[in-house]
Amino acid sequence: MKYTIPAQEVMCSGHKACQGCGAALAMRYALKALGPRTIMTFPACCWSVIDGPFPYSAVGVPLFHTAFETAAVVASGIRAGLDARGEKDVNVVAWAGDGGTFDIGIQALSGTTERNDNIIYVCYDNEAYMNTGVQRSSATPWGAVTTTTPPRHFKKERKKDMMAILAAHSIPYTASASVAYPEDFIKKLNYAKSIEGTKFLHILATCPPGWRSAPEIAVQLAKLAVQTHAFPLYEIHEGRYFKMSMNPAKKPLTDYLKPQGRFRHLTEEQVADMDRMIDERYSYLLEQAERSKPYFDAKKETK
């Protein structure tokens, strides 16, 4: 059998994620790339429950449960401790939800990032505060229903551009990824592992109960998010140079929205509005990638 992703399983069965949980898939893939020489930090999020109650754990690596605000900075501290002991071969990974990243953890993350501490920060983005019952976060997309943005008052703000905020700190590597494209996700983690400094990965993770979608289409939805350009996959190197990881022909946005109860209330005009916002953002990314071409060409030549 030729595997397209590493065969090793570090995360085990028996974890407490819902059926079809994208966050569980994200962890399984991440640990395949990271391997057992990894230490993780989790702030309060679904994963602090998925991992299991004391005295059990599912990740298969040492894990530190942190306060909601502090995933990044606890990871920084663990790295400092490892450095003091001269241990160089350990990956330190902060693993947080969108609430713990876009909202409440942003200050600690910004601090870690400004110091360019040598950690990998992975935000698994299920686009709301799922663990506490689906409240909107600044990662919730425009148009979505959550318990705090009910159908008549659906979310009217756009999703925060976290990738741009991280890139503005001039860190060496920022990338988006998806549970529907594990090969791409693992490739990005391997690159993140290979370089020093703060690395940020933003991964879209389907949440069937929060998105009000069927568990069996969890991977299909994550794929459609990329194919409809709603969640583009790209990298930002050195905070300035953009590279599209894939540039698929755009599928109709409704392919992505229709199977999700959280978008069911949207009228045709509202879907068109949403589509416009998505196109606007996508063409901005394409422009940036075009501008960055000489940088990546030069990089190729020096190789």
Partner 1 sequence: MSDEIKWKKESDMPLMAMSMGRMTVNKTGSWRNLRPVIEKEKCIKCGICWKFCPDVSIRLDEEDYPVVDLEFCKGCGICAVECPKDAITMIKEE
Ligand X SMILES: Cc1ncc(C[n+]2csc(CCOP(=O)(O)OP(=O)(O)O)c2C)c(N)n1
CB of 11 to ligand SF4, least distance (A): 13
Contact status: 17 vs partner 1 (CB under 8 A): yes
Contact status: 209 vs ligand SF4 (CB under 6 A): yes
Q: Please, what's the b/e burial string for 255-273 (b: 16 or more CB within 10 A of its CB; e: otherwise)?
A: ebbebbebbeebeeeebee
- The region that residue 136 occupies, defined by phi over 0 for left and psi between -120 and 50 for alpha, beta otherwise, is beta
CB-based contacts of 65: which residues, under 8 Å, 6+ apart?
41, 42, 43, 48
Residue whose token pair is 């996959």: 233
Question: Which phi and psi (to 5°) does residue 65 adopt?
Answer: -80, 125
d(CA 272, CA 163): 25
Site string for partner 1, 60-89 (x = CB under 8 A): x--x--------------------------
Contact 186, 177 (CB under 8 A): no
d(CA 198, CA 173): 7
Q: Which stretch binds Mg ion (CB under 5 A): 75-83, 97-105, 158-166, 292-300?
A: 97-105
Site string for Mg ion, 45-84 (x = CB under 5 A): ----------------------------------------
Contact 34, 189 (CB under 8 A): yes
Contact status: 6 vs ligand SF4 (CB under 6 A): no
Contact status: 128 vs ligand SF4 (CB under 6 A): no
- How far separated are the first and last CA of the chain, in Å rounded? 32
Identify residues 87-106 at the interface with ligand X (CB under 6 A). Answer: 97-100
Token pair for 252 = 């109709």
Contact status: 132 vs ligand X (CB under 6 A): yes
Q: Which one-letter DSSP state was computed for residue 94?
A: E
CB of 132 to ligand X, least distance (A): 4
How far, rounded to the nearest angstrom, does the alpha carbon of residue 168 sit from its chain's CA centroid? 18
H-type alpha helices, 85-161 = 106-114
Indicate which single residue of 135, 220, 254, 270 sits in contact with partner 1 (rule: CB under 8 A).
Answer: 220
Identify residues 7-66 at the interface with ligand SF4 (CB under 6 A). Answer: 17-18, 21, 23, 46, 50
Residue with smaller CB distance to ligand SF4, 107 or 132: 132
Question: Which phi and psi (to 5°) does residue 142 adopt?
Answer: -55, 135
Token pair for 214 = 């069927």
Indicate which single residue of 130, 192, 218, 253 sits in contact with ligand X (rule: CB under 6 A).
Answer: 130
Contact status: 97 vs Mg ion (CB under 5 A): yes
Residue with smaller CB distance to ligand X, 29 or 129: 129
Residue whose token pair is 């983690």: 189
Residue whose token pair is 């059990």: 56
Give Dmax over CA atoms of the chain in angstroms.
Answer: 59
Contact status: 137 vs ligand X (CB under 6 A): yes
Which entry of partner 1, Mg ion, ligand X, none binds 20, CB below 5 to 8 A by partner kind? partner 1
- Kindly list the residues in this chain that would bind ligand X in the complex (CB under 6 A): 23, 44-46, 68, 97-100, 126, 129-132, 137
Residues forming the site for partner 1 (CB under 8 A):
1, 3-5, 9, 11-17, 19-22, 24-25, 28, 51-52, 54-58, 60, 63, 182, 214-220
Q: Which residues bind ligand SF4 (CB under 6 A)?
A: 17-18, 21, 23, 46, 50, 126, 130, 207-210
Using CB under 5 A, list all residues that contact Mg ion.
97-98, 126, 130
